[in-house]
Chains A and B, each alone.
Chain A
Amino acid sequence: MLSFNEPGWFALFLMFPVLIWARFIWRKRGGRIIFPYRVWGGDGFRPPRTWLRSVVVFTDILYCLGSVALIAALAGPEITEKEEVYLSRGIDIIIVLDQSPSMGAKDFPPVNRFDTARDMIRRFIAGRSGDSIGLVTFGSDAVLRCPPTADYAWLSERIDELELRDLGDDTAIGMGLAVATLHLANSTAPEKIILLLTDGDDNAGEIRPEMAARLADDQKIRIYSIGIGSEGEVPIELINSENGTVTRGTIVTNFDEDQLRSLADVTGGGYWRANSPGALETVFQAVDALESVVRRVTVRVSSRPVHRNLVIIGSLLVAVVYLIRKLLLGETP
């Protein structure tokens, strides 16, 4: 939106009618050369309506436009934008995502569990605002991919970079939870949440999930756990990113429902199972709805000055008119 910070300068436009009258209509103005152009009683000559005449008119118009631009610049034009701003602290969320090979199972169309989960996470992030969100992934080990941040663009880049089997072939749920807890420990957020997505049993790592859950509970962190995967045999396809070989087969995955539920119960969170992409989406919506806190929002107006463009346009117009008239028309004075 365009606005002016000192619109009073537009009053200068009041001079325009006077100046135009003086310049073009006033018969007694100065700077006129009066000489007879008509023989007594006979026909006179008129300035021929050639291109020269139109150049004069054209430059007059340009000169006017130039002055208008300069006066408008004087009024301080700014482009203002309204932006919603969160004044209160949002919540902190760390998403703990399973990166073990079984996430390559193809029972979650269009691609596999892992890509569907990533998609849902992206959508979840897009729906939040003002919260800090981080990402931990785990296989045989657990790694913090992104600390809790409101810089969602950076977080999305990290999500895009993820590749299956980066972290080995096991499932260290306990390690994943522990890493997330560590990075939430000194947060000042009113609510701290871990969102665990896994499709398997904890079978690696030095920290058992129960232990990690107790640590999380000590820090007042709630764990929401989501079990992914359908029952029975499912086809799986893994692509080795180094040499491009594709491994296909079928696997039976099992997650320990009781364990996931107990993790959630110990910390006062919740447990869901998602056996289809639709169910997973519903789960994310549920989490989203559960974790909305009331916060103070204000609208901030930010402005970007644009007067400089007008100064440049206006001065160029005037200078060009001057040069045309001097060099092309030989105007004097």
Chain B
Amino acid sequence: MNWAYPASLWGLLVVPLAITAAVIAGRKGRRSLNAIGRNSVEWQVRSFLRNLAMAVFIILVVLAASEPRSGRKPVTGERSGLDVAVAFDVSRSMLAEDLSPSRLDRSVTALQQMLRSLDDSRFSLIPFKGDALLMVPMTEDRVVLDMWAGRLGPGLFTHPGTDVEAALRTARDSFPKGDGRNRVLVLITDGDTLSGRIDRISRDLAEEGIPVYTMAVGTSEGSTIPLGDGSYVKDSTGHPVVSRTRMDILKRLAEDTGGSFHELSRPGATADLIADIEEGREFSESRGIRFVGVNRYRIFLIPSLFFLLFFLLVRIIPWRRR
């Protein structure tokens, strides 16, 4: 289980605040009760239970607001055809040579293989670096796609970095509206120094039922990045920068959205990726259903309401028969 809104978990900080308030009010209350001679075990217990109920309520409701996610549920919807948005990393670390001849060349080959294999699909192409650009809109036109596939490289952008969120968002927006086609997103990246709020876009994609198939380019051992003139990219202390692939993030992204994760360094990775995409499409076309992520906020919201009720009842229920 993981959280759709992990930032909301900060709301748990309200709990110590509530406990402090309870302690302060408790002291004052005891003095008042003593003053009218009504302090008793009954009041102490009631007070404790009530504060406990409130603390548990706050914890549960914060957990509900953070939206635990697990599993996927089917929704019906007739769809035919396939639209593939390809987000393609062109950051400088793609020049690393831990895959031969280079990460970039291998990725381009993989992309071309996809274009050939999924031949009745439409593609859009989104190269990204510190910025993302819709280079080719969703089209069936292989001539344009092949042309741009050959031109991909770090020279396309000046903005450094690897903003995956921008890339996925641009890719998501490249699906034309009002099309009854299956939608799939392919992310080809070396997964090094990723920026952007990946959890946010992954949540949106899961809700819309757009699976992300991630292709990790490179190795977790990493590699230095050649500059083309025999030297390597160096950091501020003069040591060569080693670019490593963050497999875990890419794996999570694929898992959360219902896609699959592949490593380009493994033989047959591209074929597996294509097979996975086709399998998903066939399933959707033959059964007329597809899967979207499910929120399990109720498993926390229901008990939280129970404690809220308890919070109220502690005071109302008679302690003993009068």
Contacts and interface: CB of A to CB of B under 8 A. Distances in A.
Interface of A: 12, 15, 19, 22-23, 26, 28-31, 33, 35, 67, 70-71, 73-74, 76, 83-87, 89, 92, 129-130, 132, 134, 144, 146-152, 154-155, 182-183, 185-189, 298, 300, 302, 304-305, 307-308, 311-312, 314-315, 318-319, 322-323, 325-327, 330-333
A151 B305 contact: no
A160 to B, nearest CB: 15
A144 B146 CA distance: 14
Q: How large is the interface on B (under 10, 10 to 19, 20 to 34, 35 or more residues)?
A: 35 or more
A318 B29 contact: no
B100 interface: no
B138 A330 contact: no
B308 A70 contact: yes
Contacts of B179: 85-86, 130, 150
A129 B178 contact: yes
B224 interface: no
A157 B93 CA distance: 31
B141 interface: yes
Q: Which of A28, A298, A322 has the most CB of B within 10 A?
A: A322
Interface stretch (B59-67, B190-198, B266-274): B59-67
Interface in B241-286: none
Contacts of B315: 30-31, 333
A180 to B, nearest CB: 11
Interface string B70-94: 0000000110110000000000000
Interface stretch (B101-109, B155-163, B211-219, B294-302): B294-302
Contact of A332 (B47, B77, B144): B47
Contacts of B65: 308, 311-312, 315
B176 A322 contact: no
A330 B32 contact: yes
B7 interface: no
B321 to A, nearest CB: 9
Given A35-B36, A311-B297, A134 B141 contact: yes
Which 7 interchain pairs have the tightest Cβ spacing?
A332-B29, A333-B47, A150-B176, A147-B141, A151-B137, A30-B318, A31-B315
Contacts of A67: 305, 308
29 contacts: A19-B312, A28-B322, A30-B318, A31-B46, A31-B314, A31-B316, A70-B301, A70-B308, A73-B301, A83-B178, A86-B179, A87-B78, A87-B180, A146-B137, A149-B138, A155-B137, A187-B141, A302-B208, A305-B295, A308-B65, A311-B301, A315-B61, A323-B18, A325-B25, A326-B24, A327-B24, A327-B25, A330-B32, A333-B314
A149 B137 contact: yes
A305 B62 CA distance: 18
B141 A322 contact: no
B322 A183 contact: no
B26 interface: yes
A29 B141 CA distance: 76
Contacts of B177: 83
B139 A147 contact: yes
Question: Which residue, B11, B137, B145, has most C-beta atoms of chain A within 10 A?
Answer: B137
B135 to A, nearest CB: 10
Contact of A74 (B36, B120, B305): B305
Given A28-B322, A67-B308, A148-B139, A330 B25 contact: yes
A186 B58 CA distance: 60
Given A70-B304, A132-B139, A332-B30, 8 more contacts: A33-B36, A33-B38, A67-B305, A74-B298, A134-B139, A147-B136, A315-B62, A322-B21
Nearest to A302: B208
Given A70-B61, A151-B174, A332-B33, A298 B24 contact: no
Contacts of B297: 73, 307-308, 311
Nearest to A66: B308
Nearest to A144: B144
A301 to B, nearest CB: 9
A39 B45 CA distance: 32
Interface in B48-63: 48-51, 54, 57-58, 61-62
B36 A327 contact: no
A129 B176 CA distance: 10
Contacts of B317: 29-30
B272 to A, nearest CB: 26
A28 B5 CA distance: 45
Give the one of A28, A74, A149, A300 with max B CB within 10 A. A149
Contacts of B33: 332
Nearest to A12: B305
Nearest to B29: A332
Interface string B154-189: 000000000000000000001011111000000000
A70 B65 CA distance: 11
A315 B66 CA distance: 13
A151 B138 contact: yes
B28 A332 contact: yes
A150 B138 contact: yes
A188 B21 CA distance: 69
B67 A308 contact: yes
Contact of B50 (A33, A35, A183, A333): A333
B1 interface: no
A190 to B, nearest CB: 13
